Each structure stands twice: as structure tokens, then as C-alpha cells.
Amino acid sequence: MSSWRVLVLLELALPALVSTSTLFSLNAATRGAVLSFAKSSGIRALDGNAVGGSVGLGDVNDLTYLVAVTVGNSTVALNLDTGSSDLWAISNACQTDTCKLSSAERYAVTTSFQQSQIGTVGLLFGDSTTGTHASGPIGYDNVVLAGLTVPNQTFAAVNDTNNVAVSNGGAGILGLGFPSQSFVGQAAVTSVFGNTAGTDNFIRQFVNYGPIVPRLILAGVLDQPLFTITLQRDQIDISGSGQLTIGQLPDGVDNSSLTWVPVRLYSTSEGGLSAPSFAPGETYPLRWEIPLDGVYLDGEKLADTTETANGISQPSLSALIDTGNSLVRGPSDVVSSVLSKVSTTYAANSSQSPLLPCASAHRLAFQIGGKLFPVDPRDFITQNTVHNASTCVASNVVATDAPSSGALFSWSLGDPFLKSTLVAFYYGNLTHPSADPPRIGFLSLVPDDADELLAEVVAEAQADGGTFDSTTEAAPTSTSVIEASTPRTWDPAHGLPGGLATAAPANGAADVRGLSLSGRWSAFVVVLLSSSLLSLGVL
């Protein structure tokens, strides 16, 4: 059979946004880190039924946060990424320099791997100034995440990549975004239903070909359609606890203690999905993007950006919440204002690094739902040179591209923000968002004495030859399966409104608007199909 090559633009925020691709420094003489695994705990259902699970996170240099996922017979450490929606892991077939240098356990392609007829997925990740790639065959295997088993999960067994998720110690990506941003899912649905797949079948098939957590939600496994993330701090001042909790809020965290705000929904004119025939009035989320009331530095509200959006009307101010981004990224004019205020070096010459005293505490804060959520001053700075704990650099805040169709956000709040904040990601109703809209809850973890804590760790580092505390943590494995008093079975039809289980291939012209999205940090997606052309409309 002849093969077809299809070029699709798909907006994803992946770890190509990480600030450096160098391996974690264990000490002055040793580079790299062998990431072993350790045990983790599960959560208990109040009524005895299976409701979710929790697992600790690994951390490499505060650049890459890893979660242990069992795929088939392999337990792999994957980069936790709320900015993308797909699962991929390097296989033993990957022989690129990046893979050869990686010490991470790989996905072993065995008899449990069912290679699909979809072909090979090839992804190029990055914004306008960065880029990496990952490619490999799409297939299915059983996946276990935080003690929760997901049968026949669609994913990519990558055999060619230079992605920094791998060079920073991981074996791939665990995407926790919405199904609408799942390229692997789109390709799988098209392979099953042909060129007439359309939005109807794409949404109906979230339960079969969607990302891991949405499939758990639609199958009725989870108590609540959410997950929660906290990130630890392993640089400057080792502290905090990294954890992914699925299906419930973490123990000791009450719903009322969080500040909840809605997730942006995208109309078709904004680059979103077209409404399906069974829900003609619906609009759908694309990513974990929320409205911002304003941005503050040291208590002073900063002027809004004057940057013009690319090819669209100026959207309202919003931010992407992205664990796959190791930085805080924002409009170039606002970022320049921030750096000029904290660094006299940068203020005098913006081509210079934004140097500042390490003990100079600054609070960059984002107003969300009427409340300020600051970046801890310990996460605002980075050590500039080895053995110097006096002069640091504000390199965790950088400029990014202007909003565009399918990517309306001005800010991307990555790991420096997430180390300072517990964040709960609530999917709501995945097929009918108006019935239960998606939202995100925030709880600040920044202590009142954070400024004093920074001063203390700087003084300690100066007394220790200019060396800040630094460590690496392995990705714990989840060994506790949450048992139900009344066992639940995987029910693909559960949770689908109107009894929508599986759908017959549609007849007539396909309405595929929105199945392929273009925007900032575009991923060029190349799919090699063995039989038919993947018919996805590029908006």
C-alpha cells in the first residue's frame, strides 16, 4: 500500500521550554543522575470504592518533574506535563545521541504492545526560538498510573528524539491536558472511522482513545474528575513535597480553601473545536488556561502588555498553567519591566543578564480570582556562577510569543510558580462542558517568612563556599492499588451523556474544524498512514 505524509500544526507546550538541556550536576566532578524508583502511597475511598490514587514526583534540577508510569511490562519515569495531552516513552529502538546518553529505563516493546494501523507519529516541539523532536509508532498497551490501571492506552513508542525531557533524565512525556489537544487520539479516531471521523466521533471516542485521566473519568473510575499537583524545591533551599493526586483533593486540603477560576473555552473562531451535532451549543477547552486579573511585582501592579496579538483581535489576559515549562514566560514588554526593576545591570543594558543580589527578595505575583499568588522569592532567582552565593540572576522569567489563534494566553506559568502553589485541575464534563465547566483551584504555599528564609539560605551558602543546597529525587513508583469494597469494572459507556458509547462511522462530508490547532509553541506533527489520508482541518 502507498503511504501518505500529512503535515499538521498542533499547539502544545512541552518541555522544549525548559531553560537548559544539561544533565543534573550531582557534584563538581559528576554529571548525570541515575533515577531509581521508590515506593509511594495511595488514597483511601471514603465509601470503600475505587476513587483515585497518589504518587510522589521525582525532580531533576527543578527543570523536569518525573512521575513513574508502568507501560506494559516497563516502569518508566515520564515528565509530568499539563501543557500537552499525549503519552510517549522512548523504546529500546531509540539510538539517538540523546537516548544513548540517557540512563532512564525505557519502554520495552513486548507482546503486550499492540502496534496500530495508524503509523508513525513525528512531533517537533518548541516555540519560535526553540525546538526538539520525537517520533515513533503509535500503539496500545496497558498503563498503570498512581495505582490506577488503564487498559489499551494509546501512546507513542518513540524511537527517535532529542527532547529535553529525555536529556534531563526522563523517558518521555505524560500529558495531562484535555482530549481536544491529543494528537495521538485524533490519529487513532481517524484510523478507525476514516476520513469522515469528524468532531462527533472524535468527542464520542474520548473514552477509548483519549488521554489517561480523561479515560478514567469517562469510565467512571474516579470519585471526582480532577487531579492535583504540588512540586518540590530541590535547588537553593530544599523543601516541599512533590505529589500527583488523581480523583480527589490531597488529604488535609479542603475544597473551600482553594481559589477556583474557570478554564478558558475556545470558540471555533478562536481556534477551538466545532460543536458536535449531539451538543450544538457547546464550546470546549483546549488547555489548562485561566483568566488573569493582573501581574504584580513587590506589591505594585504592573502595566498591562501593549503587545499586539498575532492575526487575531486582542484577547483578554490569561495564563497557561504548565508543569512542562521550567520557567515563567510572559509578554516581552512586561518581562522587560520586571527585569529592569530587579536588576540595575539589566536596566542599564537589556542585552546583559539580569543580575541581582542573591539575598534581594522579590515577589512576582499573579492575581487570580481576585487573590494574589506569588512566586516564592527562593524560586525567583538562579545561581549565576559556581561558588558565588552573592550575585544571582533572574533567569526564571523570560519573554514568550504574543497570543495567536488557538493559543490566546499571554503568560505561561511554569515550575517556579507551581513550586509555590498547590494547583487542582478539574476537568468537569468532558463531552458537555456547560453541564460542569472545567476549572482550576489554587492554594498558595509561600510562607509568610519566605523573605527571611531566602536570607538564611543565602547566608548559609556564603558560609559554605558559595554553594547552595542541591539534590535530585527519583520518581517514586506506586505499589498500592486502591481496592473497592464492591469491585468496579472498566465501563467505557459510563459518563457519556445520552448513552453515547461507540459511534458508527459517519456518512457524508466530515466536519473536522478544530481537530487540528495551530498556534505558539507549535508542534509540527507528521503522520505516516498505511492506507488513508488523515483528514484534519487546519484552522
276-300 residue pLDDT tens: 999 999 999 999 999 999 999 999 9
CA–CA dist 445, 463 (Å, integer)? 28
Q: Single out the residue in 447, 470, 493 at which a domain terminates.
A: 470
Other Cβ atoms less than 10 A from the Cβ of 339: the count is: 23
Check: CB of residue 167 under 8 Å from CB of residue 23.
yes
Question: Is residue 13 predicted with pLDDT exceeding 80?
Answer: no
**Mean pLDDT, the chain, whole residue set:** 81
Rounded to a whole number, what is the distance in angstroms from the first to the last CA of the chain? 30
Q: pLDDT (tens digit, 9 = 90+) per residue, 378-412? A: 999 999 999 999 999 999 999 998 999 999 999 99
Does one domain contain both 309 and 434? yes
Question: Is residue 14 predicted with pLDDT exceeding 90?
Answer: no
Closest CA to 423 of 249, 262, 296: 249
Does one domain contain both 276 and 390? yes
Higher pLDDT, 48 or 213: 213
218, containing H or E segment: helix 212-218
Q: Which three cell numbers stand for residue 129?
A: 526560538
Question: Is residue 513 predicted with pLDDT exceeding 70?
Answer: no
**Confidence at residue 427, expressed as pLDDT on a 0 to 100 scale:** 99
Neighbour-count burial of 535, counting CB atoms closer than 10 A to its CB (0-12 exposed, 13-18 middle, 19+ buried): middle
Q: Which three cell numbers stand for residue 468?
A: 547552595
Q: Single out the residue in 421, 446, 470 at which a domain terminates.
A: 470
Name the one residue in this structure whose C-alpha cell is 469494597: 485
Question: Is residue 33 predicted with pLDDT exceeding 50?
Answer: no
Phi/psi at 79 (5° precision): -70, 125
Listed as own residue / partner, the contacts of 309-314 with beta carbons closer than 8 Å and 24 or more positions apart are 309/402, 309/403, 309/404, 309/408, 310/401, 310/402, 310/403, 310/404, 310/405, 311/404, 311/405, 312/270, 312/403, 312/404, 312/405, 312/408, 314/403
Query: Is 117 within the bounds of a domain?
Result: yes
**Domain extent at residue 480:** 4-19+33-248+476-529
Does one domain contain both 146 and 233? yes
Query: Is 303 within the bounds of a domain?
Result: yes
**Confidence at residue 424, expressed as pLDDT on a 0 to 100 scale:** 99
Give residue 500's pLDDT band: very low, low, confident or very high (50, 70, 90). very low
- What does the DSSP 8-state code read for residue 54? E
CA–CA dist 167, 68 (Å, integer)? 17
Q: Which three cell numbers stand for residue 338?
A: 520586571
**Confidence at residue 284, expressed as pLDDT on a 0 to 100 scale:** 98
* Report for 25-29, 219-223, 529-533: range of highest mean pLDDT: 219-223
> pLDDT > 70: what percent of the chain?
78
Question: Is residue 25 predicted with pLDDT exceeding 70?
Answer: no
Q: Which three cell numbers stand for residue 301?
A: 501592579
Least confident of 25-29, 108-112, 464-468, 476-480: 25-29
Q: Which three cell numbers stand for residue 108?
A: 520495552
Does one domain contain both 314 and 235? no
CA–CA dist 166, 160 (Å, integer)? 11
Does one domain contain both 41 and 153? yes
Q: Which three cell numbers stand for residue 484?
A: 473497592
Question: Is residue 532 predicted with pLDDT exceeding 50?
Answer: no
Q: Which three cell numbers stand for residue 523?
A: 508542534
322 is catalytic: yes
Does one domain contain both 76 and 196? yes
Give residue 126's pLDDT band: very low, low, confident or very high (50, 70, 90). low
Question: Is residue 7 predicted with pLDDT exceeding 60?
Answer: no
Does one domain contain both 179 and 115? yes
Q: DSSP letters of 138-188?
A: EEEEEEEETTEEEEEEEEEEESEE--HHHHTT-SEEEE-S-GGG-HHHHHH
Amino acid at 207: V
**Confidence at residue 193, expressed as pLDDT on a 0 to 100 scale:** 86
Question: Is residue 465 predicted with pLDDT exceeding 70?
Answer: yes
Give residue 518's pLDDT band: very low, low, confident or very high (50, 70, 90). very low
Q: How many residues are listed for the chain in this entry? A: 539
Give residue 112's pLDDT band: very low, low, confident or very high (50, 70, 90). confident
Q: Which of 62, 81, 86, 379 is catalytic?
A: 81
Give residue 127's pLDDT band: very low, low, confident or very high (50, 70, 90). low
Sort strands 289-291 and 318-321 into parallel, antiparallel or unpaired.
antiparallel
368, containing H or E segment: strand 364-368
Neighbour-count burial of 485, counting CB atoms closer than 10 A to its CB (0-12 exposed, 13-18 middle, 19+ buried): exposed
CA–CA dist 435, 433 (Å, integer)? 5
Query: Is 28 within the bounds of a domain?
Result: no
* CA distances to 24, 59, 274, 327, 362 from 33, in Å: 6, 11, 45, 22, 32
Query: Is 539 within the bounds of a domain?
Result: no
Give residue 26's pLDDT band: very low, low, confident or very high (50, 70, 90). very low
**Confidence at residue 357, expressed as pLDDT on a 0 to 100 scale:** 98
**Confidence at residue 194, expressed as pLDDT on a 0 to 100 scale:** 80
**Confidence at residue 517, expressed as pLDDT on a 0 to 100 scale:** 30
**Confidence at residue 130, expressed as pLDDT on a 0 to 100 scale:** 66
Query: Is 24 within the bounds of a domain?
Result: no
Does one domain contain both 213 and 288? no
Closest CA to 452 of 234, 241, 238, 237: 237
Domain count, the chain: 2
**Confidence at residue 116, expressed as pLDDT on a 0 to 100 scale:** 77
**Confidence at residue 111, expressed as pLDDT on a 0 to 100 scale:** 84
**Confidence at residue 129, expressed as pLDDT on a 0 to 100 scale:** 64
Query: Is 324 within the bounds of a domain?
Result: yes
Query: Is 200 within the bounds of a domain?
Result: yes
CA–CA dist 171, 514 (Å, integer)? 30
Question: Is residue 536 predicted with pLDDT exceeding 70?
Answer: no
Does one domain contain both 417 and 502? no
Does one domain contain both 272 and 410? yes
Question: Is residue 131 predicted with pLDDT exceeding 80?
Answer: no
Question: Is residue 423 predicted with pLDDT exceeding 60?
Answer: yes
Give residue 508's pLDDT band: very low, low, confident or very high (50, 70, 90). very low
- What does the DSSP 8-state code read for residue 313? P
Higher pLDDT, 23 or 283: 283
What CATH number is attached to the domain comprising 346? 2.40.70.10
**Confidence at residue 493, expressed as pLDDT on a 0 to 100 scale:** 46
Query: Is 494 within the bounds of a domain?
Result: yes
Q: pLDDT (tens digit, 9 = 90+) per residue, 148-170? A: 999 999 999 999 999 989 999 89
Q: pLDDT (tens digit, 9 = 90+) per residue, 185-224? A: 888 888 888 876 789 999 999 999 999 999 999 999 999 9
Query: What integer is the mean pLDDT of 528-532?
Result: 34
Q: Which of 59, 200, 234, 322 is catalytic?
A: 322
Does one domain contain both 81 and 12? yes
Question: Is residue 30 predicted with pLDDT exceeding 60?
Answer: no
Does one domain contain both 226 and 307? no
**Confidence at residue 514, expressed as pLDDT on a 0 to 100 scale:** 30
200 is catalytic: no
Question: Is residue 505 predicted with pLDDT exceeding 90?
Answer: no
Higher pLDDT, 331 or 28: 331
Helices (H) and strands (E) in the chain, counts: 11, 36
